[in-house]
Amino acid sequence: MEFEAFTASELAAYLGAIPKVRALLGEPDDLDVAEVGDGNLNYVYFVTNAKAPQRSVVVKQAPPFLRLVGKAWPLSCQRMEHEVAALRRFGALCPQHVPKVYHADSKRFLMVMQRLASHCILRQGLINGITYPKLAAHLSTYLAHTLFYGSDLFLAPDIKKQAVSAAVNVELCRITEDLVFTFPFEDHPSNVYSLALPLSVLERLRTNEALRIAAGDMKWAFMNRAETLLHGDLHTGSIMVNEEETFVIDPEFAFYGPMSFDIGALLANLLLAYFSRDWHGRVDGRDPAAYEEWLLAQAIGIWNGFSEQFMALWRDHESRSERRFIGGQTESRAAEGYRAHFMRRLLADTLGFAGCKMIRRIVGMAKVAEITRIPDAQARALIEVRCLRCAEALLVERDTLTDIEQVAMLARDILRETLTHV
């Protein structure tokens, strides 16, 4: 079918013909349709009953091309199927943190989902210096449940292997393989360097052997370790929050990959917020220190909360099923020892992925707003240097940073040491 974007009245009529959606929204004639997509990839609409504004949904539609460019840049529409499948799976595992999918239409590459009207994008909230008291608890719960239940620690081997094949996501994995793990380490035309960033710092990304080896390890892990169904792009722009609730949205990069990739993405974005806080805090006339510590506390709370809940899910499942992953029917010192070892390795991988994700946000094509919005080139470069220094340490020292508190100390040290010079 040739792709045509809906007009407002076409979309209202389409939604009115789906009984479940009509029950949510009311009569087609009452619907307001507003296109709110950022124009890059997908069409996104808010559809609201004008007479009862709380009756509202989001419609997301993937055209078979890059919207920004048009039909000259074809893209597979399967990305919408991936996103729907992942939302449904994550929603089944963790309904309180995943928007509901009310309807999906694989022929029109479209889905109708829950409107999160009172929530804002976490990245924006962090830029605004807002604290969310339940954030760490919510995200650690989301991570523990989604990462555990997709893995061989829970699923039967045949089910897991089918799930891996079903979740193959060539196009979007390719984006990550290139933009996160390859281009930032070479002189690639897609890279974007900020004006005042010293050349020596860029040179270091290409020539530091320990860093390159570590980044190579992470790329290999990303491409080869089909451990669980990941979100695949879990930065702070993929999270919607308010005081009470936290939702993880937009899993179009979902695929079976290394568990630590999602946790690492989140950690990276908290650290990017941490290092850029100094500037945002100062221009707002507030002392940034308290919020910086709140950000580090979120990183610590997310890892520790995740780790505790993941281990608890694992113990419970093995106790119920009377089968330990490492063998044996009863609990043993070896079984618990293996779990602790597994979590240590997971933290090391998390730090490695966090390092790669930080680097790509500094020198790669896709940036983060907390940094690009800094108009002072020198101030921005100082923050970028700190981020790269932290990223390098995370990558190279990931096996010796054995708990998350050490990571927080590392971040504090880098902030202090480089406070006055690039």
Residues comprising the chain, all counted:
422
What gap in Å lies between CA 3 and CA 393, rounded to an integer? 47
**In the complex, least distance from residue 77 CB atom to its own copies, rounded to whole angstroms:** 16
99/184 with CB nearer its own copies: 184
318 binds its own copies (CB under 8 A): no
- Stretch of residues binding its own copies (CB under 8 A), selected from 19-27, 43-51, 88-96, 326-334: 326-334
> Quick one: which segment of 91-99, 132-140, 154-162, 388-396 binds its own copies (CB under 8 A)?
154-162
DSSP assignment of 51-90: T-TTSEEEEEE--SEETTTEEEEE--THHHHHHHHHHHHH
Measured CA to CA in angstroms, residue 278 lies from 272, 374, 393 at distances of 11, 11, 20
331-390 binders of its own copies (CB under 8 A): 332-335, 337-338, 341-342, 345
Binding residue (CB under 8 A) for its own copies from 17, 50, 289, 326: 326
Please state, in angstroms and rounded to a whole number, the distance separating the CA atoms of residues 268 and 392.
Answer: 12
329 is an interface residue for its own copies by CB under 8 A: yes
CB neighbour list of residue 162: distance below 8 Å, 6 or more residues apart: none
Residues of this chain, 217-236, that bind its own copies according to CB under 8 A: 217, 219-220, 223-227
Q: Considering beta carbons, is residue 91 or 150 the nearer one to its own copies? A: 150
HSE of 282 in the Cβ direction (CA atoms, 13 Å)?
Answer: 8
Biggest distance spanned by C-alpha atoms of the chain: 65
Min CB(209)–its own copies separation in Å = 5
How many residues belong to the site for its own copies (CB under 8 A)? 50
Give the count of beta carbons closer than 10 Å to the beta carbon of residue 54: 8
Binding track over 171-210 against its own copies, x by CB under 8 A: --xx--x---xxxxxx-x-----------------xxxx-
User: Taking the chain, what is the end-to-end CA distance rounded to the nearest angstrom?
Assistant: 55
Q: How many CB atoms lie within 10 A of CB 70?
A: 10
Smallest distance, Å, CB 39 to its own copies?
A: 27
Alpha carbons 76 and 269: distance in angstroms, whole number: 28
DSSP 8-state code for residue 215:
H
Binding site for its own copies (CB under 8 A): 152, 157-158, 160-162, 164-165, 168, 170, 173-174, 177, 181-186, 188, 206-209, 212-213, 215-217, 219-220, 223-227, 325-329, 332-335, 337-338, 341-342, 345
